[in-house]
Amino acid sequence: MSVNLLFNLTLNTGIIMKYNFSVVECPSNPILVVVLVIAWIWFGCTVSTKGMVTSSFYRELQKLTSQNSSDMLINVGDPDCTATSDSGPSSDLLYASLLCEEQHNSSESEEEANHEDFPGVLETNSGSLLQDILTQLACAINEDKISKFNISRSHLWEGALRGLRRKSFSPESKVSVKFTDDSGTPEGAVDLGGPKREFFTLVMEWMMNSQLFCGTEKNKYLSCNSNYLGDDFYFYAGELIAMSVVHGGPGPKCFGLPLYDALTKGVMQTTVNLEDVYDVELRNSLQRLKDAKTVKEAQNLISEDNLEKVLELAGTLQILRKQDDVLSVVQNTAHWFVLGRGHACFERFKAGLSTLGVLGAMAEHYEKFKEVFCYSNVQLNADLFDCLFTINYSDEGSNNRQRESLVLSHWRDYLQDVEDQSVEITFSDILFFVTGLRKVPPCGLALQLSFLHESEGKDNIMSTFPMANACAGKDLTFAFLNTKGYGYA
């Protein structure tokens, strides 16, 4: 099994033009009739010309996007067969879907008809596609300049900081990552997208599981670490997340809703519930305080649970005169613990997240970016995973095509085994092997599945790619799970 991956640009466009004709009574004045006829002819020519320009424009875009593809190569293993590939030359292009839209003066009913014709296209509340928004943000990337990261997987954060602090670094430059193994040997010389995506995946996982964040796996909040604040780690964390989203990497997908709301709406406009308090002991104490039936009982609980110091630090310690005062203390203390106490850390993180215009886009397109930053239970299955790939067959009717159909059936059986948990591997493991990502990124994926035969070309030259038996599930599982990183088997 071998992988040769580049991110493919995809074009999702659709133009529906409707013309409403009505019959009118012709005026009796012949001059007016001539004027109307000329106006009608001019209108028809204008529409025709715009249609020709639009069509040629999209054809050129299709040519551009077809030059960059992602291939997963499966070795068929027949020395008498030659495989053909539809993939174009390798190029390090923008790793995001290329989407174009035109302004149309259409009614609401026409817009609804457009949506029905393109059911797979997701839109934000403002009518913009998430991929379209990311494409616009990615326009700031300068493909002629490179920000290099030399990364050792065992010292991931240290390598990321070196890259971010380098004098030549700019978040608006193209990112190039070179991994070194434990002995210091470089893994490949050119980053065509896979190492970069793996770097963003690994550094995202490191940050979410570090002391930069607190909370559960699905609801993360910023911690309050003075050492990290002094080293400006919160700013770097925000900057890396912003770069990952725009440069084709994953989003966090684990922020607690109050943290996301605070970033997009403001801290004071964010509601924090008692369930959001991730410190179990404090949450239980506040819950008992909230459940107190009388003010006297609440005052006793504050003393018994040693809440006085916490309330004093939070600035919520007050004289309790009525039950509403108790509820106010509980709510304000929860808000302080989750968002208020780490205000300086929050501001630095927010500044880093402003990189490449990500924070502004989050505030403008709240719902769509919520899918990128907050947890959502979206699971891949065999059918969805199979749909990620466009299959590059040999010529129809050839011996290669017949063998490829057989191999493809075994491949889909293997995917079904993964879904049924008959093998000790997940779709995230396979996706990480193929793309360097454990989940489909916000900008989307366009992958191609190709077949390698044992000999290539008219000279019957043996393939230089590593081979694996695509019909043996154990071999595939071993290859996927025992790789150093993206694309190695």
Residue range 307-331: mean pLDDT, rounded: 93
Asked if 348 and 421 sit in the same domain, the reply is no
CB 285, CB 321: distance < 8 Å:
no
Average pLDDT for the chain = 75
pLDDT at 305: 80
**3-state class of 201 per DSSP?**
helix
> 278 lies in a domain?
yes
Residue range 436-459: mean pLDDT, rounded: 78
> 207 lies in a domain?
no
pLDDT at 453: 74
pLDDT at 46: 41
Residue range 32-60: mean pLDDT, rounded: 41
Confidence of residue 460 (pLDDT cuts 50, 70, 90): low
Asked if 11 and 124 sit in the same domain, the reply is yes
C-alpha 163/C-alpha 176 separation (Å) is 10
Choice among 183-192, 217-226, 356-365, 371-380 with the minimum mean pLDDT = 183-192
Choice among 74-83, 325-334, 383-392 with the minimum mean pLDDT = 74-83
Asked if 436 and 352 sit in the same domain, the reply is no
> Diameter of the chain by CA atoms?
98
Residues 182-234 pLDDT 10s: 555 555 545 567 889 999 999 999 999 999 999 999 999 999 999 999 999 99
pLDDT at 377: 85
Residue range 314-340: mean pLDDT, rounded: 94
Confidence of residue 70 (pLDDT cuts 50, 70, 90): very low
Asked if 417 and 342 sit in the same domain, the reply is no
> 203 lies in a domain?
no
> 174 lies in a domain?
no
Asked if the model's pLDDT at residue 41 lies above 50, the reply is no
Asked if the model's pLDDT at residue 359 lies above 90, the reply is yes
Closest of 155, 200, 158, 161 to residue 177, by C-alpha: 200
pLDDT at 88: 39
C-alpha 371/C-alpha 431 separation (Å) is 20
C-alpha 116/C-alpha 146 separation (Å) is 42
Residue range 104-112: mean pLDDT, rounded: 38
Query: For residue 97, what are the contacts with CB-CB under 8 A and spacing of at least 6?
Result: 9, 10, 11, 12, 131, 132, 134, 135, 443, 444, 446
Q: In this structure, what is the dihedral angle of CA atoms 159, 165, 171, 173, given to the nearest 10 degrees?
A: -80
Asked if 294 and 334 sit in the same domain, the reply is yes
Confidence of residue 71 (pLDDT cuts 50, 70, 90): low
pLDDT at 380: 87
> 442 lies in a domain?
yes
pLDDT at 360: 96
Asked if 271 and 360 sit in the same domain, the reply is yes
Asked if 367 and 396 sit in the same domain, the reply is no
Asked if the model's pLDDT at residue 103 lies above 90, the reply is no
> 69 lies in a domain?
yes
Averaging pLDDT over each range in 297-306, 365-374, 463-472, which range is the top one? 365-374
Range of the domain at 337: 243-375
pTM over 0.85: no
Residue range 47-64: mean pLDDT, rounded: 37
C-alpha 191/C-alpha 173 separation (Å) is 14
> 231 lies in a domain?
no
Residue range 446-459: mean pLDDT, rounded: 72
Asked if 465 and 336 sit in the same domain, the reply is no
> 253 lies in a domain?
yes
Amino acid in the structure at residue 136: Q
Confidence of residue 66 (pLDDT cuts 50, 70, 90): very low
pLDDT at 129: 87
Asked if 1 and 132 sit in the same domain, the reply is yes
Asked if the model's pLDDT at residue 322 lies above 50, the reply is yes
Confidence of residue 62 (pLDDT cuts 50, 70, 90): very low
Averaging pLDDT over each range in 51-65, 119-133, 346-360, which range is the top one? 346-360
Asked if 260 and 355 sit in the same domain, the reply is yes
State how many domains the chain has: 2
C-alpha 320/C-alpha 326 separation (Å) is 7
C-alpha 441/C-alpha 439 separation (Å) is 6
Residue range 431-457: mean pLDDT, rounded: 81
Asked if 250 and 335 sit in the same domain, the reply is yes
Asked if 404 and 368 sit in the same domain, the reply is no
